[in-house]
Copies of this chain bind each other. A is one copy, B any other.
């Protein structure tokens, strides 16, 4: 019954999801998300349509979470900045980045000079509306292109923000896909930024595509897939679940900035050498050998929480253009034209391959002393060409290092055989009885 126990259930072809992901992102783009509020709920409901296993959870404002507590819920209905001639300078209805996130309500006239402290623009990106928030201090403000700002004249302005900060709830989504073991893989993305594409929507749409794909696979491991507001969401979730997560999580990835097609980036876990890191380096080294490597000191998303001392989850990030490192970051220029079907597909493929590698990451042991006689098993080419010689050489290299002391990742590294070829060859050798699995990772 060997084929039954053969663990290469993860070796199926990866689905084409790039165009679909882009369409989903287009649907979700206009929604005004923040840490809390209707925008998050709207987004999670949309995702639940795509993946009914997603559970939408909530925690009330004021809930304690480690050193933090859940903030008040922010609701915004509209906002306008009106100029001295009654012209509309910025309107929330046109772009939700025009309002500083978590702005307190205001309806006030004020002079040009008084207004300045409430305005935000980017001289270095004069056409972009910047993304600004003030989660933990009561403020209000408007964001606008610097080119626009520089046209403003002295006079009386009116600022109207129809928002409220109320005792409400924080929402997040959770999908649990049980596997053959309790050991878990974590995928975590965030749903707390308004209309931005690479540094927001690429994360949830690629993550939901991963969840849909994984749901249809035989899974050695259990998958915990989270859609949360950044920082407070991760802290809240960990405060409720960190003990079992710490005990069971063998690898995880923060899924963010996986939508453009300019490069691949890797940000390691704090320790830098977990299974998540090792799988990511193997996969990225094959997909894009000159991918950009950052250090944990460059971190900026929820690995800040997942990898913190005492939590210590093995969580890394595999990205396209990393947050903070591309010019359109945190502005209205990070829009739907920045992410592409090919870019999203690439982000999906990279993370999916990491998961495949982890699924097949067994320790292998050759069953035969000395080199096996491949010819008598039909595993040696009868027609000897350069390509067949290379193939046999790779098989021999895999067998040479299959001594049970290294896992699949290190076996690929030692033998220099690309991981998909290695997995396929080991599958063949396994059916032929020439290798066995000596230890699950």
Contacts and interface: CB of A to CB of B under 8 A. Distances in A.
Nearest to A307: B400
B400 A370 contact: no
A260 B368 CA distance: 36
A310 B67 contact: no
A29 interface: no
Contact of A371 (B235, B239, B312, B403): B235
Interface residues of A, number: 44
Given A66-B370, A370-B235, A396 B312 contact: no
B67 A242 contact: no
Nearest to A416: B297
14 contacts: A65-B370, A66-B368, A67-B370, A67-B372, A136-B375, A231-B371, A235-B371, A238-B370, A239-B369, A239-B370, A297-B397, A309-B365, A309-B401, A309-B404
Contacts of A382: 137
Given A67-B370, A310-B403, A370-B66, A297 B415 contact: yes
Contact of A403 (B66, B242, B309): B309
Nearest to A234: B370
B309 A400 contact: yes
Interface string A232-255: 001100110010000000000000
Contact of A369 (B297, B299, B310, B373): B310
A370 B308 contact: yes
Interface in A357-397: 365-366, 368-373, 375, 382, 396-397
A311 interface: yes
A305 interface: yes
